[in-house]
């Protein structure tokens, strides 16, 4: 199983970016999908998550600005980031809990990360 994230880049404060992450491989089912972010020297923090049923959860710092969504048929998760702030700059990682044909218990998988830079 591999997760491939895309959509990061440089944006001005107040602007928008949309991150995408696609899963590939011998996947049986995908449960919770999420986005985390990390700045150097800090731990990786949850930004937003979405369950297989569509329930969402957001970090307080992004509520009202970011929206997480998923496309189950395409095995993708998205993060729409609006009203970006300089403090949103980080490496963003996608995360999925995936059951595979080889592992019915499932486990967490991570993408390699995509850099988001916000200029003030």
Digit-by-digit pLDDT tens for the chain (120 residues) are 999 999 999 999 999 999 999 999 999 999 999 999 999 999 999 999 999 999 999 999 999 999 999 999 999 999 999 999 999 999 999 999 999 988 889 999 999 999 999 999
- pLDDT the model gives residue 72: 96
List Cβ neighbours of 10 (8 Å cut-off, separation of 6 or more).
Answer: 117, 118, 119
Match 């970090």 to its residue by tokens: 59
Match 């995936």 to its residue by tokens: 98
Question: What count of other Cβ atoms lies within 10 Å of the Cβ of residue 37?
Answer: 23
- pLDDT the model gives residue 97: 98
Q: Nearest Cα to 9, choosing from 84, 78, 102, 100?
A: 84
Distances in whole angstroms, Cα of residue 113 to Cα of each of 3, 33, 93: 10, 14, 4
Q: Which two tokens stand for residue 27?
A: 């996947």
């Amino acid at each position: 199983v591999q997760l491939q994230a895309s959509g990061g880049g440089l944006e001005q404060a107040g602007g928008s970016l949309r991150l995408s992450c696609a899963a590939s491989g011998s996947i049986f089912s995908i449960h919770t999908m999420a986005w985390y972010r990390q700045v150097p020297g800090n731990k990786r923090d949850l930004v937003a998550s979405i369950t297989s049923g569509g329930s969402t959860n957001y970090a307080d710092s992004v509520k009202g600005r970011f929206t997480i969504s998923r496309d189950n048929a395409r095995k993708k998760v998205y993060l729409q980031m609006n009203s970006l702030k300089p403090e949103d700059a980080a490496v963003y990682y996608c995360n999925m809990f995936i059951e595979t044909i080889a592992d019915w218990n499932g486990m967490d998988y991570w993408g390699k990360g995509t850099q988001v830079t916000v200029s003030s």
